[in-house]
Each structure stands twice: as C-alpha cells, then as structure tokens.
Amino acid sequence: MQNSVQIAFHGIDHSDAVETRIRDKVAKLEQFCDRITGCRVTVEMHHRNTSNLHHKGEPYHINIDISVPGEKIVVKRAPKDAHVHEDIGVALRDAFSIAERQLKDYTRKQRGE
C-alpha cells in the first residue's frame, strides 16, 4: 500500500490487539487488490439507551474507507441485530468480508470482466 493504514477509535479505548487484527485484515485485502492507496478504519461503540436494560453488550460499528485509483470503497457496518456485533471480532469479520467482496468486484471491473 502506498499510504499507511489509519485506525481510529471512538467511544472505546484504543486496543493494540484490535489494531493488530485490523492491520492483519487490511494486509489480507491487499492480496486481492494491490492497487489500494489508502485505508482508514474507524471502530465505534454506540452506547444504547440505558432504559433498555435487557440488552447486555454494546454494539460496535465499523467503518472502512479504502482508496483505490478512480474510486473510493466505503463500508459502514452498523448491526441490524445489535447482539451480532457485541463482539468486536464478529464486527470486524463482517465489515472486512464486505470490503473484500467490494474489492474483488472493483478488481473484476478494472479487468473488464
């Protein structure tokens, strides 16, 4: 990648383990597309209304902005079923899975397929 990966945390403390996991996932994306020029990943925790006490965990929202020549790929992963993304690993997996599909589509389009 021509530029470094930018990682931001909002509403959650910085985690070296999460940052390492994100960098590993971005490196995997580069295997599908070597034309990535920049990547910004934002990890957010949106706190629920405290009156809704039957929910135990807080949902994670993952935003991924990938720059490639002529296009910007944006993944905004906010859980529809909040329980699904109470685990940051699941939230990252789902968001990066979408990013991978979009990068593969971009690569096919660039090859004229």
What does the domain layout of the chain look like in residue ranges? 5-48+55-111
3-12, 69-78, 80-89, 98-107: lowest mean pLDDT where?
80-89
- pTM for the model: 0.83
pLDDT of 51 reads 44
CATH of domain 5-48+55-111: 3.30.160.100
Distance CA 90, CA 85 (A): 6
Work out the burial of residue 16: count CB atoms within 10 Å of its CB; fewer than 13 is exposed, 13-18 middle, 19 or more buried.
exposed
